[in-house]
Amino acid sequence: MENSCNRKVYIVDVKRSDWLKSNTIKGWISILDKVQETVSKVIFETQTEKIDFIGHSSGGIMLRLYLSDQLFRGKKYNGKLITENLITLGSPHQALRATKLRKFVDKEYPGSFFKEVNYISVGGKVDIRSKDASLLTKFLARRSYESITGDLNCEGDGLVPLSSSLLAGSYQVILLDTFHGGIFGKFWYGSPSKVNDWWRKIKI
């Protein structure tokens, strides 16, 4: 489909059931395989040589792994060959406490690891006491911030701390009044006004 930025957009067909399994290696591979299937479709239909990838939350960390030319449980994706820009939205990149798979990515491919790829990270900053914040955010935000950074009073998007979402070495964009997802507040990274906002700021 076309978007307001006049670029053809393809969405990887990842369902809620896929995300429920994303705490396992098998779950990650299943999602990365779907990314690869979509990439094959994009290349076939557009004959393009380079693709911009956008990953929200854990999706952004999975895409960092997708860039690698190393085997991951018998799979090699080597996405860096066809990636122009990797844009992550509210992804918990750096964390004191992280899942085993997130730790693996940050250890093996820290920061903006592949120099041939342009990394762009977008992080949100919200007031969790505002009327735009959901009850879930008011209940969960500080606990989530503390579990990731050790600081329950840090800034973030209602789930992911700002310091975690801004990948080291990347071009970094901070969005005010932008929640992690639709269930966390009025406007999130995927809200039309916010998409236009971060797209203008990433300068690609």
Look at residue 187 and tell me if it is in a domain: yes
Confidence at 65, pLDDT banded by 50, 70, 90: very high
Tens of pLDDT along 108-134?
999 999 999 999 999 999 999 999 999
Query: Among 20-29, 86-95, 117-126, 139-148, whose mean pLDDT is lowest?
Result: 20-29
pLDDT at position 1 over 50: no
Q: What confidence category does residue 4 fall into, taking pLDDT thresholds of 50, 70 and 90?
A: very low
pLDDT band at 18 (very low <50, low <70, confident <90, very high): confident
Its pTM stands at 0.93
| Share of residues in the chain with pLDDT > 90 (%) | 85
Query: Is residue 1 situated within a structural domain?
Result: no
Residue 3 falls within a domain, yes or no?
Answer: no
CB 129 within 8 A of CB 137: no
CA distance 188 to 175: 10
- Position 111 in a domain: yes
Taking the CA atoms of 184, 85, 26 and 163 in sequence, report the sign of the dihedral they define: negative
Q: Which domain, by its residues, includes 176?
A: 55-202
**Paired residues of 51 in beta bridges:** 83
Judged against a pLDDT cut of 90, whether residue 107 lies above it is answered with: yes
Q: What is the CATH number of the domain that holds 153?
A: 3.40.50.1820
Per the structure, how many domains does the chain have?
1
Report the first-to-last Cα separation within the chain, whole angstroms: 19
Mean pLDDT of the chain: 93
Q: What's the CA gap between 112 and 133, in Å, rounded?
A: 32
Rounded mean pLDDT, 55-71: 97
Give yes or no for residue 2 having a pLDDT over 90. Answer: no
Three-state SS at 84: strand
Q: How far is it, in rounded angstroms, from Cα 151 to Cα 58?
A: 21
Say which amino acid occupies 8.
K
Rounded to an integer, the average pLDDT of 149-178 is 96
